[in-house]
Amino acid sequence: MKYLHALLAAAMVSASLGAVAHEGETHPQKKVGPVTKEQKDWGIAGDAKAAKRTVELVMSDNMRFTPDKIEVKQGETVRFVVKNSGQMMHEIVIGTKKTLDEHAALMMKFPGMEHDEPYMSHVAPGKVGELVWTFNRAGDFDFACLIAGHYQAGMVGKIKVAAMVANNGHGVGHKH
Ligand SMILES: [Cu+2]
């Protein structure tokens, strides 16, 4: 605060001297937490405004997602609306099989571990959670509930991201 006051005072002094060169500097922009958009192998955090498609999922105490298979096109931003129909906490975490395996192992070791990233949503019983994700990379990905024991009980699903078709036929990976 002291620093800010000093800044403002300095700004006012220079303003009164008619020497304000950079107006913006008198209003230091506070960083208001939009999520950091970090490119992951399975995509990047999306903007709700850009989401043209909503996928509804249900998580239940029988350790299943419904549906458990989702197909999207590369570049598509999807808004996931995730309902927890059970009596216990569930979550959805998107990733690759490898990252989810690793993360699940950590959750078994540290069940109380707090985690929160733009590619996951924790949903209390009876509640609905949301997450918006842009699938800008093609491939086969997974989503899972990583709460200790749930992943191991098979609470997983698949996301297939179909590669964008290139006009000239080049630059598209081989099909499996
Ligand atoms: Cu669960």
pLDDT value of position 148: 92
Compute, in angstroms, the gap from residue 36 CA to the centroid of ligand 1: 26
Q: What is the pLDDT along the chain (176 residues), one digit of tens a residue?
A: 444 444 444 444 444 444 444 444 444 444 555 557 899 999 999 999 999 999 999 999 999 999 999 999 999 999 999 999 999 999 999 999 999 999 999 999 998 888 889 999 999 999 999 999 999 999 999 999 999 999 999 999 999 999 987 655 554 455 55
pLDDT value of position 143: 98
Compute, in angstroms, the gap from residue 132 CA to the centroid of ligand 1: 19
Compute, in angstroms, the gap from residue 88 CA to the centroid of ligand 1: 8
pLDDT value of position 48: 93
Compute, in angstroms, the gap from residue 84 CA to the centroid of ligand 1: 9
SS (H, E, C) the chain: CHHHHHHHHHHHHHHHCCCCCCHHHHCCCCCCCCCCCCCECCEEECCHHHCCEEEEEEEECCCEEECCEEEEECCEEEEEEEEECCCCCEEEEEECHHHHHHHHHHHHHCCCCCCCCCCEEEECCCCEEEEEEEECCCEEEEEECCCCCCCCCCCEEEEEEECCCCCCCCCCCCCC
Q: What CA–CA distance (Å, rounded) separates 121 from 139?
A: 22
Compute, in angstroms, the gap from residue 71 CA to the centroid of ligand 1: 22
CA-based nearest residue to 90, from 135, 134, 149, 142: 149
Compute, in angstroms, the gap from residue 170 CA to the centroid of ligand 1: 41
Compute, in angstroms, the gap from residue 106 CA to the centroid of ligand 1: 15
**In what order do the strands lie in the sheet containing 53-60?**
44-45, 128-135, 76-84, 53-60, 64-66
How much is the CA Rg of the chain, to the nearest whole Å? 22
Domains of the chain: 44-162 (2.60.40.420)
Can you give the pTM of this predicted structure? 0.74
pLDDT value of position 168: 53
Number of neighbours of residue 88 by Cβ within 10 angstroms: 13
Compute, in angstroms, the gap from residue 100 CA to the centroid of ligand 1: 13
Burial label, 69 (beta-carbon count in 10 A; 0-12, 13-18, 19+)? exposed
pLDDT value of position 8: 44
Compute, in angstroms, the gap from residue 153 CA to the centroid of ligand 1: 9
Compute, in angstroms, the gap from residue 144 CA to the centroid of ligand 1: 8
Number of neighbours of residue 129 by Cβ within 10 angstroms: 19
Compute, in angstroms, the gap from residue 75 CA to the centroid of ligand 1: 28
Peptide bond into 67 cis (omega under 30): yes
Compute, in angstroms, the gap from residue 134 CA to the centroid of ligand 1: 23
